Amino acid sequence: NDVLQKLSIELSSSNFKCLLENLEEGFYSGINSLPRKFNGIDEREQLASLNLIIGYICLFGKHKLSQVLLSATHLNKLMHTLMHISELERTGVSLLEEYTIKELNMNPDLRTPWRNFRHFKEESVKNKLETLCASLAKFG
C-alpha cells in the first residue's frame, strides 16, 4: 500500500505525463467494459474487472483520481456503470402482496438475503463492489 501511495505521488509530477495518460486510457477502457462483463455470467471475469478498476483507483490515489474524474463524460459513465451492475433483482417483488397475521408474526430466516442482485449472485462479487465504492469514497 505504501508503494502505491509513493507511485501515486510520483504520478503527480510532470515527468510521468505520458505514463499517466496511458493509465487514464486504461482506466476509462476498464470502466467502459464493466457493463459488458456484468451482462455475462462469468463471475471470475466480473471479479477481475472490479479488481482492475480498484487497482487504477488506488494507483491514482487522492493525488490524481479527482483530476482523472474531472471529465463529466467519464464520471457519468462510471456512475451509470456502478448503478447498472448493482441493480437489484425485481422478479418476485409485488406491491400488492397479501399477508395474514400469522405470516407477519413469524420470525424471518436471517440467513436469507433480503436483496438479490440482477447481474451477479456471488457474495465475493458483492464484497468487491463494496470495496470499489469504498475506494472511490476514500480517494475521490
Measured CA to CA, the distance from residue 32 to residue 16 in angstroms comes to: 24
Say whether pTM exceeds 0.75.
Answer: yes
* 53 pLDDT more than 60: yes
Region 17-44 average pLDDT: 92
Confidence of residue 113 (pLDDT cuts 50, 70, 90): low
Measured CA to CA, the distance from residue 35 to residue 122 in angstroms comes to: 17
Per-residue pLDDT tens digits for 75-110: 999 999 999 999 998 876 666 666 556 555 566 666
